[in-house]
Amino acid sequence: MNYAQLVNQIYTKKSCLCVGLDTDPNKIPKHLLDYEDPVFEFNKRIIDATSDLCVAYKPNIAFYECLGPSGWESLRKTIEYIPKENFTIADAKRGDIGNTARMYAKTFFDTYNFDSITIAPYMGEDSVTPFLEYKDKWGILLAVTSNKGGSDFQQFGGDKPLFKEVVEKANSWATHEQLMYVVGATRGELIADMRKIAPKNFFLVPGVGAQGGTVEDVMKHGKSDEIGLLINSSRGIIYAGSDENFADQARDSAKKVVEQMKHFI
């Protein structure tokens, strides 16, 4: 999916919601465990309930690969089931060099046909550029994360912290039509700082809902001229309910988030 298609979907749906598919067999409704593939059945129903409300889905790869071959099969079926109009993100946080990075790119772009992948940029340019060799595919670099330890390195450097150095350098590797950044929702002032140095890039913003970030703060500090945001909610949507009506409750939760976004789009 290219930049124009993604922007168009946001304006058409009046939404920049990304639903995180962090599917844990221990947390899904118990009645789904009777299905041959409980993880896929859960994802399928969440997708059916939310695909018209969100613009993107973000499976967290750790929740699938920990299950071994069956988890990878659930992931494959999930990606094939997601409507083509929805942007897909492999939340894999890969980061390695040379042929290894090239194989990771092949895995997620060729084998599984994701639109994008999250990347840890610590190893520099040659760990990122293999992901940028694919037409209409995206690299999403970790920049300012919402976890407690994020400041250990990202904020290091005084007046010009490391995350700014990373973003300024990465901006020379690709344009805003191929490169996004992960920017946590829990620090509004840092979102504003990021927007100054990456005025056109999309930001993937986790941390809304369960982690305490708000849609209003993200939109206020991070919106670009063409919105430029994918605001992710995982647990707050997919685990909104735990009984047989869980998909309806997920939809209701997604609707509430989208209603907050509509005021800014």
CATH numbers and ranges of domains, the chain: 3-164+173-262 (3.20.20.70)
Q: How far apart are CA 59 and CA 39, in angstroms?
A: 11
Q: Does the structure show a pLDDT above 70 at 150?
A: yes
**What predicted TM-score, i.e. pTM, was given to this entire model?**
0.96
Average predicted confidence (pLDDT) for the chain = 94
Mean pLDDT of 153-170: 85
Q: What is the pLDDT of residue 129?
A: 96
d(CA 176, CA 89): 16
Confidence check: pLDDT of 18 > 70: yes
The active-site residue out of 14, 77, 93, 200 is: 93
Residue with tokens 């988030």: 257
Mean pLDDT across 215-234: 95
Per residue in 60-115, pLDDT tens? 999 999 999 999 999 999 999 999 999 999 999 999 998 999 999 999 999 999 99
For the range 193-197, what are the long-range contacts, defined as Cβ-Cβ under 8 Å and sequence gap of 24 or more? 193/164, 194/143, 194/144, 194/163, 194/167, 194/222, 195/221, 195/222, 195/223, 195/224, 197/164, 197/167, 197/168, 197/171
Find the helix packing angle between 246-262 and 215-222, rounded to 10°. Answer: 40
Whether 93 is a known active-site residue: answer: yes
Percentage of residues in the chain with pLDDT exceeding 70?
98
